[in-house]
Amino acid sequence: MASLVTVGLDGSRESVPAALWAAREADLRSVSLDLVHVEEWLDQPPLPVASAEVQRRWTEGLLREASEEVRRLYPDLEVTSRRLHGIPAIALIHAAASSDMLVLGSRGLGSVAGVILGSVAGDTVVVAERPVVLVRSPHGTVTPADGFSTEGAIVVGVDLGRPCGGLLAFAFDEASRRRCPLRVVHAWTAPPVLSYAPSLDPGVQDEMSHGLATDLGTMTRPWSEKFPEVKFDVQVRVGQPAIQLVEAAHGAALLVVGRRIRRSVFGAHMGSIAHAVVHRAAAPVAVVAHE
């Protein structure tokens, strides 16, 4: 059984909020925190690189400073740190194989250009089978309270046409641990006939939304019975799903989305909705892989 939270550190300003977010999560779960930095050695690097000794000292300093900051804020938390070598995404996935989750930082370019995830985070999230949480600090801040909400609701996006048990289990468990509300969101796009000829039946869209809300209630019932202490509501939103999820997660503590595990010859990837959400949401995003 998993008994730790793993966070990847790369020395960027985004990895600091990620480490602090992961520390709070480990504290909530009463598990240890594992700080990991992966050194990638290239046979023919495109630019001159530091010597092995310089790299070692830099990495040890990075891990030491992060450990000291975490222990200052969470003195009772057990913290370990590791230096690993290899391809970062693969090494991080192996390092987090027995973790509750893997936490990584991501960076933004602003509202006009959109958000780039970062190559390591992007490569990791599409193949990891453990939940991966991407923490972005939009303003370059270094404390959770300034960079993102830690007290808001948990928001989970579900697709009524696919199994969502893993997402709901993760989301209800998070809400229970945080003692915060949970918002279960399903977004759908109205058929063209409703868009081009709404006068045919103005109540059809509302009727469809009501039916979907009933289906959401049915889907969530096993989890609400398992976690009766969690206060939750279901929302049916009309519009492009990724946009609706990002809007629903405004001010949220965490946005949870799913990624189907694809064992294909064409390689792993995220679906279009999850891809758009992790690139645009300001809240931390948990990507939960499922069959």
205 and 82 in a single domain? The answer is no
Q: Give the Cα separation of 284 and 234 in Å (integer).
A: 20
9 and 92 in a single domain? The answer is yes
Residue 167, pLDDT score:
93
Q: Using an 8 Å Cβ cutoff, are 25 and 5 in contact? A: yes
Tokens coding 124:
């990791």
Residue 118, pLDDT score:
57
Boundary-marking domain end, from 86, 117, 139? 139
DSSP E strands in the chain: the ranges are: 4-8, 32-39, 79-85, 101-106, 132-136, 154-157, 182-188, 232-238, 254-260, 285-290
6 belongs to a structural domain: yes
Q: Using an 8 Å Cβ cutoff, are 82 and 95 in contact? A: yes
Q: Provide φ and ψ at 97, rounded to 5°.
A: -60, -30
Count how many domains the chain has: 2
Residue 114, pLDDT score:
34
SS3 state of residue 235: strand
117 and 154 in a single domain? The answer is no
135 and 156 in a single domain? The answer is no
Residue 77, pLDDT score:
96
> Among 231, 265, 237, 262, which Cα is nearest to 250's?
237
Residue 291, pLDDT score:
73
Boundary-marking domain end, from 117, 139, 161? 139
52 and 126 in a single domain? The answer is yes
pTM for the full predicted model: 0.84
Residues 6+ apart with CB under 8 A from 230: 172, 175, 176, 181, 182, 224
Q: 10 Å Cβ neighbour count for 32?
A: 15
Range of the structural domain that residue 290 is part of: 149-291
Residue 239 corresponds to which amino acid?
G
Q: Match 């194989």 to its residue by tokens.
A: 97
Residue 49, pLDDT score:
56
144 belongs to a structural domain: no
Question: Residue 160 maps to which CATH number?
Answer: 3.40.50.12370
130 and 221 in a single domain? The answer is no
Q: Give the Cα separation of 136 and 8 in Å (integer).
A: 13
35 belongs to a structural domain: yes
Question: Residue 123 maps to which CATH number?
Answer: 3.40.50.620
> Among 177, 204, 182, which Cα is nearest to 192's?
204
Q: What pLDDT tens digit does each residue of the chain (291 aa) get? A: 568 999 999 888 788 889 999 999 999 999 999 999 998 765 455 445 556 777 788 888 899 999 999 999 999 999 999 999 888 889 999 999 999 999 998 764 333 333 344 578 888 888 888 999 999 865 444 444 444 556 789 999 998 888 889 999 999 999 999 999 999 999 987 665 555 554 445 566 677 777 888 889 899 999 999 999 999 999 999 889 999 999 999 999 999 999 887 655 445 556 788 888 888 888 999 999 877
